[in-house]
Amino acid sequence: MGKAPITDVPSGVIPDGRPAAPHGLQVLAVTGLPEFRPGDDLAGAIAAAAPWIVDGDVLVVTSKAVSKTEGRLVRSPTDPGAREEFRRHLIDTETVRLVAQMGRTKIVENRLGIIAAAAGVDASNVRLDEIALLPEDPDASAAGLVREFAARGRRIGVVITDTQGRAWRNGVTDVAIGAAGVRVLEDHRGGVDDFGNELVVTQVGLGDEIAAAGDLVKGKLAGVPVAVIRGLDAPGVPEDGPAPSDHLAAALLRPYEEDLFRLGTDLSIAQGRKEAVLLRRTVRQFTGERVDDAVLARCIGIALTAPAPHHTRPVRFVLVREHRQALLQAMAAQWESDLAGDGWDDERIARRTARGQILNEATEVVIPFVTGEGRHDYPDDRRRQAERTMFTVAGGAAVQALLVALAAEGIGSAWISSTIFAPVVVRSVLSLPEDWEPLGAIGIGHPHESLSARPPFDPADGMLIR
């Protein structure tokens, strides 16, 4: 197939394809592209919109355009809260390793080996009922575009990009996640600079530089998903044999065992776990946003690892939903009766009970119990009381573990002692055995204000040495 004539060349482009300035580069936007949908011909649309593309040009294509045409769109709820929760579910699905987390923001390694926020799962620049995943194999997608243009008589390179933040620096930039037909990693190791110094570790991430350059004309809100870099003289894909490894974006991914910061990453996770303990605080105001059942179950599973006597598992957590209103009303009635028995008048009782609305306003209510499972029945009161205390302490350890696990997920909680004062009422409403002792109640929900770590107390205030 012969080369198509070069027409409609953007301003500043010399018709024979040479850059306007000697030894320079041009970055050109490809405008007039449609809103891509699954099954669309991406290469054909680019070729039609930019017939001025010439041999050696490099197409810089946003991954979103590739994902759309390859059908990497997932149907999503349109309610904002439900959509965000579904997005987080997709992030967990695409994640193979948690690298770092602060609040609900996760930096993870995804299935492609890319380390980025949210595993590349993106709800921007798509319809409100869809969420986009990254292409399944961006290098293969890039190679496909190179071959499509080769069939049209054009020798080009392709870099597929995604937007990422960078450690220790503000702002996001585009990076290469797929490539073909152009070198993306230039290795200067073993070379000598002008001063006679041998370069030992220098490798240049050309793919990321190309991606960032292309984004200068694509932008985040301009609706331009494709740019052309002219002046690199991309070699294209070889007709026979595999592509050189430094032409694949996979070459830009540093293996975990070679990562100079992996120890810092591991320590940051440990530090994050320590911080979660300090994030735990009593939250009294919740947004009303639904708490993911899977997250709640995961936190309860963590809590159940708390130590317990005699190799038993005496702690149970009851998620109260169907009987929640009945339970809270019965407990309120018990509370009012107790206060009246203490000689309080109706006005004082009303003021006091009005302050105890946290469980009513929480998104979920969980009641921890310690059962009689595995408890020894000693013949004397001293050891019977010690046994009871021991099991209560085990229950308290599990409660604290749950509160900390929730805080690590960015979820607020409030431990309320109320059920301890109404055990018979609680067991009756929830139809539970008589040896189940409630250890308060936990109001759970997304906090109205983000959790923030507080400094630990001075141990001198609560630590004695004898």
What are the residue boundaries of the structural domains of the chain, listed by start? 26-72+134-259, 274-461
On the question of a common fold for 26-72+134-259 and 274-461, the answer reads: no
If you ran DSSP here, which 8-state letter would residue 121 be given? -
**DSSP H or E stretch at residue 174:** strand 169-180
Give strand ranges (E) for 181-281: 186-187, 203-204, 226-230
Does residue 276 or residue 459 have the better pLDDT?
459
Q: Is 33 left (phi over 0), alpha (psi -120 to 50) or beta?
A: beta
Indicate the CATH number of 274-461 among 3.40.50.170, 3.40.50.720, 3.40.109.10, 3.40.30.10.
3.40.109.10
Mean pLDDT of the residues in the chain: 87
SS (H, E, C) 340-373: HHCCCCHHHHHHHHHCCCHHHHCCEEEEEEECCC
Q: Please give the pLDDT value at position 272.
A: 58
Residues 147-176 have a mean pLDDT of: 93
What's the pLDDT at 19? 40
What token pair was written down for 332?
Answer: 């309120």
* pLDDT at residue 370 in the model: 96
pLDDT of residue 145: 97
What is the distance between the alpha carbons of residues 264 and 262, in angstroms, rounded to a whole number?
5
Instruction: Quickly state the pLDDT bin for 279 (edges 50, 70, 90).
Output: confident
Question: Shortest CA distance to 445 belongs to which of 396, 416, 404, 410?
Answer: 410
8 Å CB contact between 317 and 368: yes
Indicate whether 369 pLDDT > 60. Answer: yes
Closest among 254, 114, 113, 249 to 180, alpha carbons compared: 249
Looking at residue 422, its pLDDT comes to 94
The residue among 101 and 117 whose pLDDT is bigger is 117
Of 204, 170, 212, nearest in space to 188 by CA: 204
CATH number of 26-72+134-259: 3.30.1330.100
Residue 39: exposure state from Cβ atoms within 10 A (0-12, 13-18, ≥19): exposed
Q: Which range among 10-14, 34-38, 260-264 shows the weakest confidence by mean pLDDT?
A: 10-14
Burial category of 194 from C-beta neighbours within 10 Å (exposed 0-12, middle 13-18, buried 19 and up): exposed
415 contacts 444 by C-beta, under 8 angstroms:
no
